[in-house]
Amino acid sequence: MEKTSPALSQIFEPIRADLELVDREFARHVESQVELIPTIGRYIQTSGGKRVRPAVLLMAARLGGYGGDRAVLYAAVVEFIHTATLVHDDIIDESELRRGRMAVHSRWGNDITVLLGDYLYIKSMALALSHDHLDIVRVLCDVTLRMIEGELYQLTKNGDADLAEEEHFDIIRRKTAYLFGGCAQIGGMLGNVTREQEQALQEYGFNLGIAFQLVDDLLDFTGDLKALGKPIGADLREGKMTLPLIHLLQHDRGAAGRIVREIIASRAASDEQWDELLQLLKEQRSIDYAYRCAGDFAERAKKPLYTFPPSSERDALLALPDYVLSRDR
């Protein structure tokens, strides 16, 4: 049965003004005498990102009773880290599009984009160090290192049709979940929360991040090309095995295994191959399986929040996993 989820704008309404301040903070700190840096920064900012990670940090800070201006700064730091990862990922994946527009490297070249990603990483840490809160800087360094480890690990598994489910989840945890967890944890650290509540927030964000990535992977098979802003089937053509395919190959090593390996080897999929693959995924209920897994992690995300008393902030964080499950882009 389909669950009706609130729109993202509705969930984020209490922090809309703060998210606008995050955008301004991002734009202010991407200014440079090297004109190319703010030019690309503005291009990235106007590409339609959802700002889910900074929003989680801002909402968690409010849940913890924090009302100061550091939440906006650390939310901007998170956006710098996430953006740096995206521009580097697009080079590695040779993705021509990002959110329906040319990826940064497609427009400005790999050499400039690598350096821009480096600039954004260093800028994020410089911003974080502008306040004397080393515990938060340690969290940011830890999640950033895990993300880079995840990217390296994924590269070693790229094109491996025999990728195990647990290996796939290890990549997701590193590349996505730890940053989500860090966002929620940092929000709590800014506020007046107990160590148990801080851990609860980290657990919330961590599980939300896994659900987010599982749904993101599903959109490769279920998404609408125009809404998604990138070609359908891009992950498999880039050699990435995701949960629906891993499940499919566990149950059909014949036709499914042959098609998957052909697409990985040629880095291309014909309409006939793709239609047959979608039919096999349907027959083995592999998409249903991946969606159920995403739903399980969404529910796991909600449970730790009940260590906090009822509030509008808690309600917003509880609504976010349901939105994640309903995403179409």
> What is the distance between the alpha carbons of residues 64 and 68, in angstroms, rounded to a whole number?
12
Residues 299-327: tens digit of each pLDDT: 999 999 999 999 999 999 999 999 999 98
> What is the distance between the alpha carbons of residues 125 and 168, in angstroms, rounded to a whole number?
29
pLDDT, the chain, mean: 90
Residues 63-110: tens digit of each pLDDT: 999 989 999 999 999 999 998 888 888 888 777 776 667 888 888 888
Q: Is residue 2 part of a domain?
A: no
> What is the distance between the alpha carbons of residues 81 and 143, in angstroms, rounded to a whole number?
10
Q: Is residue 207 part of a domain?
A: yes
pTM above 0.85, yes or no: yes
Give the domain range for residue 317.
Answer: 8-325
Residues of the chain with pLDDT under 70: 1-5, 48, 98-100, 224-231, 329
Helices (H) and strands (E) in the chain, counts: 18, 2
Compute φ and ψ for 238, nearest 5 degrees. -85, 0
Closest CA to 319 of 202, 184, 208: 208
Q: Is residue 308 part of a domain?
A: yes
Q: CATH number of the domain at 31, please.
A: 1.10.600.10
Query: Structurally, how many domains does the chain consist of?
Result: 1
